[in-house]
């Protein structure tokens, strides 16, 4: 590991209480089952540990990136030469007070939606079944039914690229459709405070969530590694031609493959890994679909999926210049 010395690894282990993995094969570790070897993955346990980690990495000029559960990430075939900071289940505490919920960013979203509903609060039903951590959901302003988690955010606590703990109010998070300030500012989200509506009928909230889960099971491919929607639904294309899945289907892409990367037959905006797909296969499909859609509609679709390059930079998969 050229960018990390033994002394660096020792310090990362000290800060993270030995929650450090080395030489991890991303083709086994990641949701899409794609990617080369990640040299180092650290799993901090609270905001203070994140701050100490980042301060150390910054002082020693060691590159890093942050991930949640990798549900929206395509890792490079060459692997990653940067420290991967995973905010996951070591940071998944939460607390409900009346209509607000404080939660750590590593909390698993489907579990969070259930916990919030059980507390008699409504407004998070649309996130039922979204595989990811709360930090990833906030960064992506994820949600379903054209909603985003941003509308429930009161404040977000995050660690700056120099290791300072800061709190952002909703307006400072710059939430837009599937976008937020955290996609570009290098901060690591560690905690959030959300607000919901108090309702007395838990059964009504639960029924709504079960309905959404049933619809997801019918609409989306099950049991195949993928990263959910590949392209963002752009309102201009949506109004004229429909959602990305319909536009891609119209072009005859369903079932189309490159290597082991296959456009889902159930939903044309999903790319399944049916064996040993490579990131280069997925990027090839993305590039060609984007080109064909542009030729047909005059609109350039943007990827919702993010590519992690070998240096650890996280960029929209449509902005990758190679392939
Ligand atoms: C089958 C399937 C269905 C899906 N359905 C939906 C859906 O209905 N709606 C939807 O919105 N998404 C959906 N997704 C996409 C994905 O689940 C969401 O984007 C999810 O919020 C990503 O969370 P994650 O923890 O896996 O983040 P990751 O994929 O690990 O990371 C995503 C982005 O968030 C950043 N990030 C992660 N954690 C943090 C943090 N703590 N601080 C700062 N930045 C962070 C990463 O750097 C990266 O840029 C689906 C994915 C799959 C596989």
Q: What pLDDT is recorded for position 322?
A: 66
Per-residue pLDDT band for 2 (boundaries 50, 70, 90) equals: confident
Ligand 1 atom closest to 131 (CA): 17
By most ligand atoms within 8 Å of CB, the mutation choice from 29, 30, 66, 68 for ligand 1 is: 68
Q: What are the pLDDT digits (tens) for 40-51?
A: 999 999 999 999
| Ligand 1 atom at shortest distance from the alpha carbon of 314 | 49
Residue 246 pLDDT greater than 70, yes or no? yes
According to DSSP, the residues that pair with 102 across neighbouring strands are: 95, 193
Distances in Å between the Cα of 112 and the Cα atoms of 95, 96, 175, 189, 289 are 11, 11, 20, 16, 35
Average pLDDT over residues 81-110: 97
Domain ranges of the chain: 6-86, 94-217, 222-315
Mean pLDDT of 158-181: 97
Residue 133 CA to ligand 1 center (angstroms) comes to 7
C-alpha 132 to ligand 1 mean position (Å): 5
**How far, in Å, is the centroid of ligand 1 from the Cα of 89?**
15
CA pair distance 103, 88, nearest whole angstrom: 12
Report whether residue 230 contacts ligand 1, using a CB cutoff of 6 Å.
no
Q: 228 alpha carbon to ligand 1 midpoint, in Å? A: 9
Indicate the class that CATH gives domain 222-315: alpha beta
How many Å apart are CA 256 and CA 234, to the nearest integer? 23
In this structure, which topology does domain 6-86 adopt according to CATH?
A: 3.30.43
- pLDDT surpassing 90 at residue 63: yes
Distance 55 CA to ligand 1 centre (A): 25
Higher-confidence residue: 146 or 52? Answer: 52
- Place 202 in a pLDDT band, splitting at 50, 70 and 90: confident
Among the ranges given (112-116, 129-133, 218-222, 301-305), the one the predictor scored with the smallest mean pLDDT: 218-222
**How far apart are alpha carbons 111 and 30 in whole angstroms?**
20
Q: What is the pLDDT of residues 267-323, one digit of tens each?
A: 999 999 999 999 999 999 999 999 999 999 999 999 999 999 999 999 999 999 865
Residue 106 Cβ inside 6 Å of ligand 1? The answer reads no
**Which band of pLDDT confidence, cut at 50, 70 and 90, is reported for residue 162?**
very high
Q: Which residues of 73-87 are buried (b: 16+ CB within 10 A; e: fewer)?
A: bbbbbebbbbbbbbb
Q: Which residues are catalytic?
A: 178, 229, 304
pLDDT at 1 over 80: no
CA 89 distance to own-chain centroid: 15
Q: How far apart are CA 71 and CA 235, in angstroms?
A: 23
Ligand 1 pocket residue status of 136, Cβ below 6 Å: yes
Cα–Cα dist 43/20, whole Å: 6
Pick the CATH number of 94-217 from 3.30.200.20, 3.40.50.140, 3.30.465.10, 3.50.50.60: 3.30.465.10
The residue whose CA has the least distance to atom 19 of ligand 1 is 72
Which numbered atom of ligand 1 lies nearest the CA of 178?
A: 11
Residue 11 has pLDDT above 80, yes or no: yes
């Amino acid at each position: 590991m050229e960018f990390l010395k033994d002394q660096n690894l020792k310090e990362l282990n000290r800060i993270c209480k030995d929650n450090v993995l080395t030489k991890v094969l991303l083709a086994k570790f990641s949701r899409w089952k794609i990617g080369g070897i990640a040299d180092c993955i650290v799993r901090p346990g609270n905001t203070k540990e994140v701050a100490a980690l980042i301060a150390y990495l910054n002082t020693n000029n060691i590159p890093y990136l942050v991930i949640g559960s990798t549900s929206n990430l395509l890792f490079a075939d060459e692997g990653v030469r940067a420290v991967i900071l995973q905010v996951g289940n070591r940071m998944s505490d939460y607390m409900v007070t009346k209509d607000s919920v404080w939660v750590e960013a590593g909390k698993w979203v489907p579990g969070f939606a259930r916990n919030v509903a059980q507390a008699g609060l409504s407004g998070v039903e649309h996130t039922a079944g979204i595989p990811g951590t709360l930090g990833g959901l906030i960064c992506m302003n994820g949600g379903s039914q054209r909603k985003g988690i941003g509308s429930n955010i009161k404040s977000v606590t995050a660690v700056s690229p120099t290791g300072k703990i800061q709190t952002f109010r909703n307006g400072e998070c710059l939430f837009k459709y599937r976008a937020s300030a955290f996609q570009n500012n290098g901060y690591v989200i560690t905690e959030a405070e959300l607000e919901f509506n108090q309702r007395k009928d838990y059964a009504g909230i639960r029924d709504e969530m079960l309905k959404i889960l049933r619809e997801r099971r019918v609409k989306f491919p099950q049991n195949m590694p993928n990263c959910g929607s590949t392209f963002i639904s752009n309102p201009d294309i949506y109004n004229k031609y429909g959602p990305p899945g319909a536009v891609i289907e119209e072009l005859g892409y369903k079932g189309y493959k490159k290597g082991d990367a296959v456009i889902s037959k159930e939903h044309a905006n999903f790319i399944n890994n049916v064996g040993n797909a490579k990131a280069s296969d997925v990027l090839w499909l993305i590039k060609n679909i984007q080109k064909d859609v542009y030729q047909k509609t005059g609109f350039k679709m943007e990827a919702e999926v993010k590519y992690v390059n070998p240096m650890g930079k996280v960029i929209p998969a449509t902005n990758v210049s190679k392939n």
